[in-house]
């Protein structure tokens, strides 16, 4: 198995245990479950800055340890003060050292769109995202069948959540449907862990105009962002570049000011 298949297999085993700990009824009873959500799509479309989605990430399979001792609340507040239009929080524990408490803390501390970044394969995870305070969920085309994308995105829409569909090659655009709000091109090939921003440039004209598009991974300078803006990209998800700095929020501020 490649790394992506391994992660999904582990996620399925993890879900079997988690579902025994928290029932769907418990998730739905959480006060946060019914809170009004904030639109990432609208924030990006109306942005007068660079459309930065700043990510909190402690580690990754490709990089290993990045910033293990960082405080998600402190970092996320700094991101917002620096001008980020949205926040992304990793909640996978085994491979990214994230957890639900990270997302819940970030939600409580900030009034801006928050993306739950995880390997979403089951309806239960969509309900979790709503109960934890997310405004947006990530669906990765490479790990989901077309019908599963439809089912999960329809559930998200019914709960008031937006959906970011992540692709990294043209064939994956086939799973798009009316419940998708944003298409994110991941410049990192999740199977080979190779990063190339030209992936976003190559796919820019392939994405239907109905969908707002963002570029993810491998972005670290204003020049690259300007090239992507010229290709119609409205948002840029950046995590590793910020988190490798001692002060991630200051790195975010410097990048935005450079634009």
Q: Which residues are catalytic?
A: 55, 57, 117, 166, 186, 216-217
Contacts of 192 (CB under 8 A, 6+ apart): 2
């Amino acid at each position: 198995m490649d790394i992506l298949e391994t992660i999904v297999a582990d996620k399925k085993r993890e879900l079997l245990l988690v579902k025994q700990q928290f029932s769907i009824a418990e998730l739905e009873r959480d006060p946060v479950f019914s809170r009004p959500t904030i639109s990432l799509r609208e924030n990006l479309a109306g942005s007068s800055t660079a459309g930065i989605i700043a990510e909190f990430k402690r580690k990754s399979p490709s990089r290993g340890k990045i910033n293990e001792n960082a405080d998600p609340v402190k970092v996320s507040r700094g991101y917002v003060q620096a001008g980020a239009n949205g926040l992304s929080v990793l909640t996978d524990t085994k491979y990214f050292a994230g957890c639900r408490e990270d997302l819940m803390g970030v939600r409580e501390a900030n009034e801006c769109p928050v993306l739950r970044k995880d390997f979403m394969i089951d309806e239960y995870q969509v309900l979790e995202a709503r109960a934890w305070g997310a405004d947006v969920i990530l669906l990765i085309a490479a790990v989901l069948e077309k019908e599963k994308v439809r089912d999960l995105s329809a559930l998200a829409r019914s709960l008031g959540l937006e959906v970011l569909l992540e692709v990294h090659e043209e064939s994956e655009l086939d799973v798009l449907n009316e419940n998708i709000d944003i298409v994110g091109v991941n410049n990192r090939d999740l199977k080979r862990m190779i990063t190339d921003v030209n992936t976003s440039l190559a796919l820019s004209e392939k994405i239907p105009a109905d969908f707002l598009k963002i570029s993810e991974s491998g972005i670290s300078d204003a020049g690259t962002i300007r090239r992507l803006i010229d290709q119609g990209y409205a948002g840029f998800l950046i995590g590793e570049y910020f988190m490798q700095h001692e002060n991630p929020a200051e790195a975010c501020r410097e990048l935005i000011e450079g634009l």
